[in-house]
Amino acid sequence: MQKKLKLWDAIMLVMGSMIGSGIFIVSADMMRNLGSGYWMIVVWVITGIMTVAAAISYGELSSLFPKAGGQYTYLTEIFGKKMGFLYGWGLFTVIQTGTIAAVAMAFGKFTAYLVPELNNAAPIFQSGTFQITWIQILAIAVIILLTYINTRGVESGKLLQNVFTGSKILALLGLIALGFILVDFSHLAENFSFGTDSFNNLKQDDKGIFLQSGWESISGMTLMGGIAAAMVGSVFSSVAWESVTFVSGEIENPKKNVVKAMILGTSAVMLLYIAVNFVYINALDRDSIAFAANDRVAVAASQNIFGSAGTVIIAVLVMVSTFGCNNGLILAGARVFQTMAKDGLFFKSAVENNKNQVPGNALWMQGIWASLLCLSGQYGNLLDMISFVIVLFYMITVFGVIYLRIKQPNLERPYKTWLYPITPIIYLLIGTAFCVLLLIYKQQYTWPGFLIVLLGLPVYYLINRNKKTD
């Protein structure tokens, strides 16, 4: 691997992969579950602590195993090939490709804001409830374009990543500043007036549209369930930072720069996210956040800030954000599948680099599967199901830091987890609470994703039927 990515490039990859469409949408569902500006910010702060604690912990593993494959490599080195394969299987079938599909579809849907003909056009194909629309075709075109650009060399992907990530960071900073300067009437005090009281309003009509009446006070374990449900959105918006570990083999001085990129990148993004939510709470009242049309809270807030131009401003911002986000996901994900292929756990043709010294075949395999998920229309459901599994794999990896400290205390660690063992334990405690509460209160978010990953077991044994497995 050629070392063509510097520290700044790695930070841009972390931030660009994290900031997609979620921050512009998920706060509506969070408000419906919690009914209070106070609790909404608390959930974002908890998610921020979780995310940065995980990044700090991963830093130790990235310095121990500074090579391509990242989290897949860590799990394989610590817990064996089977665990590594199950992660890689989940990454290819749903986690990475499903996220690519969902982010591409978000690009298509917000493009339709600017080009209404996309929304109004008849489906290209329809059979029962299954249909293929022009928005899906646009999403696939974006995936194919970005995959092609990344096959042209890591420098092409790097340049695109830096330009689009820089643009959306500046745009978000502008939205945050103007969200307090230009709003005629602040709802901040109103949204925080409930204090620690919490409410939910999840009643729907027969068409599945949320009703704007019937807030119910919640507390105790019901509140805990509401926090866990709200965290599905904030966690989904805060994942993919580990993508930088997938390209460790192409980063200058990876033993130091990967951990710096993860900690600086995740901290900056979580501060941006919390600030953006303060803008929502300032610009909109509780009902306007909870029942924003199609959950597009950012659009509703932007209309209050910028007037009629708000819709166009947010549509362009989301298009820039999702385009840059998908570039980072596409660039990084293929490196994992190439590393799996070298270990005999993926298609052999994914092993080779192309003439531009990037894993061209792995990039196209990832792009084709993500495109098929776009056509299926099931990417959103799959991602809801997989949030639980993403956190489980994060927890297993963070636990790996503690496990290695006990099993191999004399390993040379160029970077040691800050405040060990407090930092990994904080993540494990919050992650465990999140997963247990979902298992109790929101099982539709848990067992389907777990089942998808477990389906990888027979595939693993099939691949290794003539080999000695571990």
pLDDT per position as a tens digit, 188-234: 999 999 889 999 998 887 777 888 877 899 999 999 999 998 998 89
pLDDT for the residue numbered 384:
73
Return the structure tokens found at 126.
Answer: 């329809």
Check pLDDT > 60 for residue 96: yes
CB atoms within 10 A of CB 348: 10
Q: How is the chain split into domains, by residue range?
A: 7-464
Residues 121, 133 contacting (CB under 8 angstroms): yes
* Structure confidence at residue 422 (pLDDT): 96
Cβ-proximal residues to 13 (8 Å cutoff; 6+ apart), any chain: 5, 161, 165, 243, 244, 247, 261, 265, 328, 331, 332
CB 254 within 8 A of CB 62: yes
Calculate mean pLDDT across residues 122-132: 81
Dihedral angle at the C-alpha atoms of 49, 15, 229, 207, nearest 10 degrees?
160
Residues 148, 326: contact at Cβ < 8 Å?
no
Three-class SS of 24-71: HCCHHHHHHHHCCHHHHHHHHHHHHHHHHHHHHHHHHHHHHCCCCCCH
What whole-number distance in Å separates Cα of residue 399 and Cα of residue 397?
Answer: 5
Q: How far is CA 429 from CA 221, 341, 399, in A?
A: 17, 34, 11
- Banded model confidence at residue 379, pLDDT cuts 50, 70, 90: low
d(CA 325, CA 164): 8
Give dist(CA 386, CA 395) in Å, integer: 14
**Model confidence pTM above 0.85:** yes
Cα distance between residue 212 and residue 441, in whole Å: 23
Q: Nearest 5°: phi and psi at 123?
A: -55, 145
Q: How far apart (Å, rounded) are the C-alpha atoms in residues 263 and 422?
A: 16
Q: What average pLDDT does this structure show over 287-310?
A: 91
pLDDT tens, residue by residue, 404-436: 999 999 999 999 999 999 999 999 999 999 988
C-alpha span between 311 and 322 (Å, rounded): 16
Which are the contacts of 325, defined by CB distance < 8 A and separation ≥ 6?
Answer: 16, 17, 18, 19, 20, 21, 103, 240
Computed over every residue of the chain, the mean pLDDT equals 91
Per-residue pLDDT averaged across 327-355, rounded? 94
* Single-letter residue type at 71: Q
What are the backbone dihedrals phi and psi of residue 413, each rounded to the nearest 5 degrees, phi first? -110, 100
